[in-house]
Structure 1
Amino acid sequence: MPADNPPFADASFPWDHQPPSPQPQPQPDRAARQLRAARRLPVRITLLLLAVHAVIVLLAAPARAVLAQPLAGPFNVGLGLLLAQLCMTAGVAVWYGRYARAAIDPLTEDRESSLPHPEGQR
C-alpha cells in the first residue's frame, strides 16, 4: 500500500462534517408587521381583563369581610365587583368585534389577496 494514500482517505467522519450554512430567515413584510402590531392591543387588554379576574378570585378567601361590606341594600362589594367584571368582559367582547372589523380584517384581506390561491385561478 502506498504511503501517500492512507486508508479511508475519502471517508467522512462526524467531526469533519461542516454544518450547512444557515438559510437567511425571510423578513416579514410590511403588512405582516402591521398585522402583528394590530393584534398587540387586544392581547394586552385580554391580559388586563384576566388580571382583574384573578384579583377578584384571589380576594375571595382572604378578604371575605371586605367583599361582604354592603354597598346599597342587598348588594355588597363582592357582587359589585362581579357585576363590574361581567360588564367589562361584555364591553371588551363588543369592542374587540368592532376593532377586528376596523383594524385587523382589512390587513388580513390585503395579505390574503397577495397570496396565490392554493387551487389556482378559478
Structure 2
Amino acid sequence: MQQYDHSWLASQPSRSTLKTLRTARKRSSRVAATVIGAQLSTVVLAAEVPGIMSHPIVDPFNVGLFLILMQIGFTACVIIWYGRYAKKRLDPASLRFAAELKQRGDTTHSGGARP
C-alpha cells in the first residue's frame, strides 16, 4: 500500500483566508485594468486620431500632452492607493495565513529557510 504525504493539504489556507485573498486580488485587478485601459486609450487616440491629440488647449499645451500629464498623475495616485491598500488589507491577510500555518505546525511554507 502506498503512503501519501498530506503536508501539502495541511498547508492550504482556510476558506476565510482564501475569500480575503480572492477579494483583494479582484479589487487590485480592477484598478490595474483601469490604469492599463487609460494608457491604451491614449496610445490608440494618438495613433488613430492625431488631429485631436495635437489640438491646442493653452499656448504650450495640447490635448495629447494634457492627457499624458493626467495619466502620470492618475498612475501616481493608483500607486499610492495600492501601497495603502496592501498595508491595510494584504499584509494582515498574509500574516493570518502565516499564523495559520505556524499553528498547524507546517514549516515548509514559512517564508524561506531558517538557520
Report the TM-score, using the length of structure 1 for normalisation.
0.72
Which residues in structure 2 correspond to 1:1-122 (within 5 Å)? 29-115=15-101, 116-118=106-108
For structure 2, the residue ranges without an aligned partner over 5 or more in a row are 1-11
Structure with more helix by fraction: 2
Q: Note closer, same or farther for the CA distance 1:28–1:113 as it changes in structure 2 (3 Å cut).
A: closer
Structure 2 CA distance for aligned equivalents of residues 65 and 117 of structure 1: 61
For structure 1, the residue ranges without an aligned partner over 5 or more in a row are 1-25
Report the TM-score, using the length of structure 2 for normalisation.
0.76
The structure that has the greater radius of gyration is 1
Structure 2 CA distance for aligned equivalents of residues 42 and 60 of structure 1: 27
Task: For residues 31-54 of structure 1, give each alpha carbon's deviation from its aligned partner in whole angstroms, at most 9, with x where no partner exists.
Answer: 111111122111101001101111
Contact 1:69 1:77 (C-alpha < 8 Å) held by counterparts:
yes
Residue type of the alignment partner of 2:74: M
Q: How many equivalent pairs are there?
A: 97
Contact 1:67 1:76 (C-alpha < 8 Å) held by counterparts:
yes
